[in-house]
Structure formats: C-alpha cells, structure tokens
Homo-oligomer: A and B are copies of this chain.
Amino acid sequence: MNESLAYIAKEQKELSLLGGISALLGWDQMTYMPPRGIQERSDQMAYLARHMHERIISDTLYHHLTALTNDQTLATLPDHDQHVVRRLKKDVDKARKVPPAFTEKLSKTTALAYNAWQDARAHNTYKEFAPHLQHIIELERQYCDYIRLPGPPYNSLLDDYEEGMTVDTLTHEFHILHPKLTTMLEAITATDRYATQRPLQDTIPTAQQQSLSTQLLHLMNLPPEETRLDVSTHPFTTTMGDEDVRITTNYERDGPLFAFFSTMHEAGHALYELGLPKGVYQDTVISDAPSLGIHESQSRFWENMIGRNRQFWAYFYPRFQTTAPAYFQKTTLNEWYRAVNLVRPSLIRIEADELTYCLHVILRFELELELIDEKITVNELPRAWNEKMQEFLGITPTTDTDGVLQDMHWSGGDFGYFPTYAIGSIYAAQLFDAITRDLPSLDQDLTNGHLPPILQWLRDHVHQYGRLYTADEIITRACGRGLDSHIYVNYLKNKYYALYDV
C-alpha cells in the first residue's frame, strides 16, 4: 500500500476512535456524571479537542495529502481512495486556516460563556451573559477573517454546518417561506377550529412514557444491540462507534407528548448514523454526514412526516391507548391526530409545532446576520428578539429566559447553526414528497405499522452516501431538485388547511 495512503488511513482510524471517545465523555456528562465531575471532564474534553485539532492540522498529514494530490498519483488510486483523499484534503485545508491558539481561545471563551448562560437563564439576567456573547461574536468575526469564503462573512460560518450554503441562497428561500408561513398561520388562527381547540392537558407517568418510547424504537427498527435510550435535560443523539449510537429523551418536560416525539426525532438521527457508509469508507471522512441540514432532515422526517401522520396513528394510537389507558380512552383517533398537530404560536423553539417552527429559525438567522454584520449590538439584542417575536408570531416573551436566552447555541459559539433546522425541515418535506411517489404502498405500510420500506428508501437515497456527495447533490438525486421551500410550503398547506378546515 502507498505509504501516504497508509498514513492517512491510520490517522483517520485514530481520529475516528478519538471522536468516539469524545462522544462518550459528552454523553456521560449529560446523563450520568456526578455533578462535581465537571471540572476534570472539561479538562478531558479540552485536551482531546486540542489533540485532535493538532493532528488534523499536522504537517505530516498535510505532507502526505499533498503528495497524493499534487502529482499524478491521485488518478492512479482506486475511486474510493480518491474520494477519501479529496474530501480529507478539503477538510485539512480549511482547518489549517485557523491557528491552534485561536481554537483554544474560542474553546475557553465558550466554556465560560456556557456557564454564564446557564446562570443568566436561572436568574433571568441577560446582562450576565452579554459580555460573553460580545466576546464570542468578536471571535466569530475573526474566524470569518481566517476562512474568508466569497460573499458576506456569515457565509464562512454557515459553511461549517451546511457546506456550500450561502446567505444569498438562504435569504432567497426564507423570502419564500416566511410570508407563506405567515399567511398560513393567519388563515389557521382565524378558523373556528383554532379558536375552540385546546392543547392536551393530561400527563403520562414516566414508566408508561418509557414503554411508549421503547415500543416506538422497536417499530422504527432501531437495533437494540447497537443503541440506548437514556435521559438528559436536552435530548440528543451521539455516536461512540459504528455499532454504538445513543439517544436521549426527557419524560418530565413540556406536556405529555414531548418525550414521544423527541424520541422519534433522535431515533431519526440515530438511524442515519447507523446507515452511514461502511466497507471501504469505514473510519474515513466519507462515513459522516455532509451537512447538519441532511442530518436534521432525517430527524424531522421521522418526527413530523411519519410521527404526525394520520396513517401512522391509525396503527399506533391503539397501542398508545393500551399503554396509557387512564389518559386517552375518551379521545378518538381523529381528535388525537388533531391534538398531535395542534398549531399554536409559542415562545420556545424546541416546543414549537411543525407550522410555526421555521419562523423561530428565521428569526435567529436574521438576528445572527445583524450581529455579525454589526447592524445591531449585543445590548440591543433582547429588544430586537422580542420585537421580532411579536412581528413573526404575535407574542412577546415576558422574560429573557423564555426569549433571547432560551437556546444554548450562541453560548457555544455556534453561529451559522440555526439555519440548518429550517434546511432540514425543507429537505424532509422534499424527501417525503419523493418517497410518496416512489412507494405507492406508503400509506398502507404506515397503517400496518410496517416501517422497513421507509428506512430502506432513506438508506438507499440518503444514508449510504455519507459525504460522498454534498447535501445539495444528495437531495437533487433523491428528489429531482435541490433545496426548494415551495415543496415544504405545499406540504404544510395541504396538511394544515385540511386539519383546520381552512
């Protein structure tokens, strides 16, 4: 084997091992770690992050990659090696633009900011968090200076989460999506049904919620010997290895359905992780998601297109009633289907219904852009947030904890991340549109609780490619065109106008 190829194979394998180890440290921190373990844990995670970054930007790795790409060698390699080398070279080139000292500074700044954010949330004191946010935004701008993609600085932030995505494209899509969502929301809120519908008030005991989640994971064919379901404050999915992907939920928050749908959402992420390419691509940069939008398309697809689907509940609602009999005997399937699709403008993004969800995301995108472009200051942010909430959703948070402080992303320096939630939602609708055409038996399969054909379709059209193609290429291959909000708007309109008799 070519010496350089052997070297990059070994580096990727060890970086993959280190990635799995880091994932375990993070999972444990969020699930089982005793509280005072946090100091040592932070040091362990920072150490691994620095070590991994040093290896990605190491001159030895760079030397081997350039040896493979600069001369005629590349064309002589098998196709799969060419893909790996090109992909890794691109990652390395980008990582090497950023000095290690900067990465360390950002990591330390966000560690402090995360604590400050938690305190500020607990005390509803935005001003505790503001100086940290200010510092982070300055570092984000500096990061854009290092990366320097064409177009506005924010493009360099977007690219980390959604490679190739630009402010132009997003602005274009959101200019379609935003007014359509507003129109639909106005039409729905004007109906009698909206005026008379009430959210579910029941609570389901934890043991029964756990049973429902377990039944759901079984139905979705999540392999129990390769996965776990645990509890954390915020649900998440994480990957320790090709055959060790774990999800979490929370049985104690936000009404009787939160745990069920969050389990379904995270299981969508987990099925994607488990379906990423193996074989020649195992332990390579190819065996990963091309973008967060694609990843989110999988979770949103299962949570909304399947989990809030009339046919799915034809199968699953009787099981719900059997498992939690005290709670749902009075509710008919039709009432239930309406209940799980209740539209109601709300303050908190992760509790938002399917229709209003993207308005929360567009709000954050617009604010991020203004912050990075210095069009608003950190001190002006809470007011700007509240004004946009009023404008977009007709409600204003009474506290910053329920407003500008609700999400952890900014404390982590994750500017450019939020838009992927909307991209994922749009992609999910496009995939649902395509699968509906490809699988004529879809409705019948759902009614029978027979989900393997759905998973297989996602494996064939999305999972198996990993990073072999870009997000845009994968969606174009699967659906006939790239990111397209019109399809999402049509999906929402057909579903919700029927639900609300508009």
Question: Which residues from chain A sit less than 8 Å from chain B, CB to CB?
Answer: 14, 17-18, 20-21, 24-25, 28, 32-37, 39-41, 43-44, 47-48, 223-228, 230, 240-244, 246
Q: Which of B21, B230, B241 is A21 in contact with, Cβ under 8 Å?
A: B21
Whether the pair B21, A43 counts as a contact (CB closer than 8 A) is no
Whether the pair A226, B44 counts as a contact (CB closer than 8 A) is no
A48 proximity list for chain B (CB < 8 A): 21
Instruction: Identify the closest chain B residue to A223 (Cβ).
Output: B36
Query: A241 CA to B29 CA in the complex, in Å?
Result: 13
**Distance to closest chain B CB from A258 (angstroms):** 23
**Distance to closest chain B CB from A23 (angstroms):** 10
Query: A23 CA to B223 CA in the complex, in Å?
Result: 27
**Distance to closest chain B CB from A269 (angstroms):** 16
Whether the pair A40, B241 counts as a contact (CB closer than 8 A) is yes
Query: A40 CA to B21 CA in the complex, in Å?
Result: 10
Give this chain's copy count: 2
Whether the pair A36, B228 counts as a contact (CB closer than 8 A) is no
A24 proximity list for chain B (CB < 8 A): 24-25, 28
**Distance to closest chain B CB from A352 (angstroms):** 32
**Distance to closest chain B CB from A229 (angstroms):** 10
A244 proximity list for chain B (CB < 8 A): 33-34, 36-37, 40-41
- Knowing that A21-B48, A34-B225 touch, tell me 18 more A-B residue pairs with CB under 8 angstroms: A17-B47, A21-B25, A24-B24, A24-B28, A32-B32, A34-B226, A34-B227, A34-B243, A35-B225, A36-B226, A37-B241, A37-B243, A39-B241, A39-B243, A40-B241, A40-B242, A40-B244, A41-B244
**Distance to closest chain B CB from A41 (angstroms):** 7
Whether the pair A40, B243 counts as a contact (CB closer than 8 A) is yes
Instruction: Identify the closest chain B residue to A242 (Cβ).
Output: B40
A-B contact pairs, 21 of them (CB 8 A): A17-B44, A17-B47, A20-B40, A21-B21, A21-B25, A24-B24, A24-B28, A32-B32, A33-B240, A34-B224, A34-B228, A34-B243, A36-B223, A36-B225, A36-B226, A36-B243, A37-B241, A37-B243, A39-B243, A40-B242, A41-B240
**Distance to closest chain B CB from A94 (angstroms):** 26
Q: In the complex where A21-B21, A21-B25 touch, is A40 in contact with B228 (Cβ < 8 A)?
A: no
A39 proximity list for chain B (CB < 8 A): 241-243
**Distance to closest chain B CB from A11 (angstroms):** 12
A37 proximity list for chain B (CB < 8 A): 226, 240-241, 243-244
A20 proximity list for chain B (CB < 8 A): 40, 44
Instruction: Identify the closest chain B residue to A32 (Cβ).
Output: B228
Query: A41 CA to B241 CA in the complex, in Å?
Result: 8
